């Protein structure tokens, strides 16, 4: 079994995002792009949700097809945070792209 080391991709930009509660799931949909070419085996969009005091509430992620990652071209992705119970206290959503070699 191969071990992958995550690397945060600094040239990642969130161009737009929306989020909402759907049943017990918190859904974050966005449009993203990278500004410099990267070369990883795998990619994941990672979402960290915090309350108004900055306290961690939940972390979730979703795989991104590496063929969708092209320099200066936007791509869309939806991340679903399952079994989310406290949508009233959501204050910030941090989104990052992680690359795995």
Q: Is residue 67 part of a domain?
A: yes
pLDDT at 84: 87
Q: Is residue 69 part of a domain?
A: yes
Taking residues 92-99, what's their average pLDDT?
A: 96
CATH code of residue 40: 2.60.40
For 5, the token pair is: 């080391």
Total number of domains in the chain: 1
Report residue 85's pLDDT band, with 50, 70 and 90 as the boundaries: confident
Domain that holds residue 96: 6-100
At residue 77, what are phi and psi to the nearest 5 degrees?
-155, 140
Q: Is 85 left (phi over 0), alpha (psi -120 to 50) or beta?
A: alpha
Q: Is 72 left (phi over 0), alpha (psi -120 to 50) or beta?
A: left
Residue 69, pLDDT > 60, answer yes
Instruction: Report the chain's mean pLDDT, rounded to a whole number.
Output: 91
pLDDT at 2: 58
The model's pTM is 0.88
**Residue 3 in contact with residue 101, Cβ under 8 Å?**
no
């Amino acid at each position: 079994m191969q071990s992958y080391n995550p690397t945060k991709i600094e040239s990642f930009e969130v161009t737009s995002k929306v989020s909402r509660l759907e049943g017990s799931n918190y859904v974050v949909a966005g449009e993203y792009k990278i500004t410099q070419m990267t070369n990883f085996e795998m990619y994941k969009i990672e979402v960290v949700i915090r309350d108004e005091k900055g306290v961690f509430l939940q972390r979730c992620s979703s795989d991104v097809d590496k063929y969708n990652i092209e320099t200066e071209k936007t791509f869309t992705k939806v991340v679903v945070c399952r079994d989310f119970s406290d949508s009233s206290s959501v204050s910030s959503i941090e989104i990052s792209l992680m690359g795995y070699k």
